[in-house]
Structure 1
Amino acid sequence: IGPDRTVLGGFSMGTVMSYALGLDGGRPAPAGILALSGFIPTVDGWEPSLADRTGTKVLIAHGRQDPVIPVTFARRARELLERAGFDVDYRESDAGHNVDPGDIPRVTAWLERVL
Structure 2
Amino acid sequence: MSPLAHRERPAAGEPAGLLVLHHGRGADEHDLLGLADVLDPDQRLHVVTPRAPLTLPGSPGHHWYVVPRVGFPDHDTFHAAYRELAGFHDDLWQRTGLTPGQTMFGGFSMGSVMSYALGLGPDRPAPAGILAFAGFVPVVDDWQPDLAGRPDLRAFIAHGRRDPVMDVAFARAARDLLEAGRIAVEYHESDAGHFIDPAHIGPAARWLGATLSEPAA
- TM-score interval, smaller chain: over 0.9
Match status 1:74 vs 2:159: no
Q: 2:156 aligns with which of 52, 59, 67?
A: 59
State the aligned residue count.
115
- Name the amino acid aligned to 2:174: A
Q: 1:91 aligns with which of 160, 165, 188?
A: 188
Q: How does 1:22-37 map to 2 (within 5 A)?
A: 22-37=119-134
Runs of 4+ in 1 over 6 A off after TM superposition: none
SS at 1:50 equivalent: coil
Percentage of matched positions with identical amino acids: 57
Match of 2:37 in 1: none
Match status 1:8 vs 2:105: yes
CA distance, structure 1, for counterparts of residue 180 and residue 205 of structure 2: 26
CA distance, structure 1, for counterparts of residue 101 and residue 146 of structure 2: 17
CA distance, structure 1, for counterparts of residue 165 and residue 171 of structure 2: 12
Q: 1:17-54: CA deviations, max 9, x gaps?
A: 00000001111100000000000011012110110112
TM-score by length of 2: 0.52
Q: Could you list the runs of 5+ residues in structure 1 that have no partner in the other structure?
A: none
- Name the amino acid aligned to 1:107: A
How far 1:69 sits from its partner (Å)?
A: 0.1
RMSD: 0.5
Q: 1:29-87: CA deviations, max 9, x gaps?
A: 00000000000011012110110112110000000000000000000000010011010
SS at 2:165 equivalent: coil
Q: Which has the higher contact order (CA 8 A, sep 6+)?
A: 1
Give the structure with higher Rg (CA): 2
TM-score by length of 1: 0.98
- Name the amino acid aligned to 2:183: F
Q: Could you list the runs of 5+ residues in structure 2 that have no partner in the other structure?
A: 1-97, 213-217
CA distance, structure 2, for counterparts of residue 86 and residue 96 of structure 1: 27
Q: 2:142 aligns with which of 45, 51, 54?
A: 45
